[in-house]
A and B are shown apart, each in its own frame.
With several copies, the nearest count.
Chain A
């Protein structure tokens, strides 16, 4: 058989390779001598492998399919349908795609490199007119949703609006005032005046800042923890 000086990379896949073989050997696609084609295909695969080139699984898959068709053709019983039919259909479909690709290639040569321009910028103010019904409709739909999920009530947010908030800054002053006498204060006593979790968090954050900046010393004695204000910064540590 003629040497196959074909390179793998030039084929898009097994169908592409098969079509080339068919074309090269002037095989009638509607009456493929499957044994011959399989032999050629396999020897191509073998040759590629002998160069230690990696073969995609698609090529291997096709090899087994061809072998399967070949074996079916050898059966003494005539199968109801030509075992080659599926392969032939696939080859014909793929050939159509290749022809279409060729057409597109020609068009691309002529037209692909036409460039368009980005749209000019506008201020983008929306100026379409709508009926207000659209809004009420949307709101009505939302109304249903609010009723379905009562935990998402508006009050949840109202609380946030009404509740007093404490800043860490104000609590730093609070803590400094609290410890002003420089005597030992029990750790927990600092939080005695706190009414909410938010306030406790603010005081604690304030304390952390003061400790970090060396204004407050935390002393541990046995199971008790005390806080002491440091007036002379050099005493810190």
Chain B
């Protein structure tokens, strides 16, 4: 391989790896000596420094890695969030409804109300930061209790849990008074 090909191959390998790759391993992959590999990495790093590139090559702890330039963090975050957050499913909303109206609740309470296993959904809502563990029920097995988070309030434009619309058993929803709705909107 000539230097240009080596540079390109190195870029390809670092890209596909995602995580850091050591100088040794790179040299092994390309059958080059370490100086050659390091030189190639330096050339690639140099070229990526150009303002038209959004990624850079960093050297940490004897390993090379490609990563996005810090100045694009905001765009990257936006992109990953858009990707990572498909809208909440009907099942997730149900669990959120149970948790928000009855908190703190255990998983088995949620399952009793919903009539279906809700383990996966509870975990995924925890990962999403919409609910969190908030203690243990003083009962056999000391089951974990779950409650909603501040992110949850932000997400649904609520100032506090007490602002959740009241629901009576006739399945009528008492609507938010107009002024309260405005407050909620103000949170958006």
Contacts and interface: CB of A to CB of B under 8 A. Distances in A.
Do A and B interact directly, with beta carbons closer than 8 Å? yes
A114 B128 contact: no
Contacts of A102: 93, 173
Interface stretch (B25-33, B34-42, B44-52, B113-121): B113-121
A230 B80 CA distance: 66
A78 interface: no
Interface string B124-138: 000111100000011
B87 interface: yes
Given A119-B19, A132-B164, A157 B97 contact: no
B10 interface: no
A27 interface: no
Contact of A132 (B69, B81, B176): B176
B97 A104 contact: yes
A222 interface: no
B68 A125 contact: no
A193 interface: no
A120 B16 contact: yes
Interface string A72-115: 00000000000000000010111111111111110110111111
Given A116-B65, A120-B76, A146-B113, A135 B169 contact: no
Bin the interface of chain B by size.
35 or more
A112 B128 CA distance: 12
Interface string B41-85: 000000000000000101000000111111001001100110111
Interface string A109-147: 011111111111011111111111011111111111110
A144 B115 CA distance: 12
Contact of A97 (B81, B114, B138, B140): B114
Contacts of A103: 97, 164-165, 167, 173
A108 B156 contact: yes
Contacts of B138: 161, 165
27 contacts: A12-B116, A16-B115, A97-B98, A100-B97, A101-B90, A105-B93, A111-B156, A112-B155, A113-B73, A114-B56, A114-B67, A114-B68, A114-B154, A116-B65, A118-B18, A123-B129, A125-B129, A130-B156, A132-B156, A132-B157, A134-B88, A134-B156, A135-B100, A142-B97, A143-B169, A160-B139, A165-B138
Interface of B: 12, 15-19, 56, 58, 65-70, 73, 76-77, 80-81, 83-85, 87-88, 90-91, 93-94, 96-98, 100-102, 106, 108-109, 112-117, 127-130, 137-140, 151, 154-158, 164-165, 167, 169, 171, 173, 176, 182, 184, 188
Interface of A: 12-16, 56, 58, 62, 90, 92-105, 107-108, 110-120, 122-132, 134-146, 149, 152, 154, 156-157, 160-161, 165
Given A127-B81, A139-B167, 7 more contacts: A100-B167, A103-B165, A113-B76, A115-B76, A117-B66, A122-B81, A160-B139
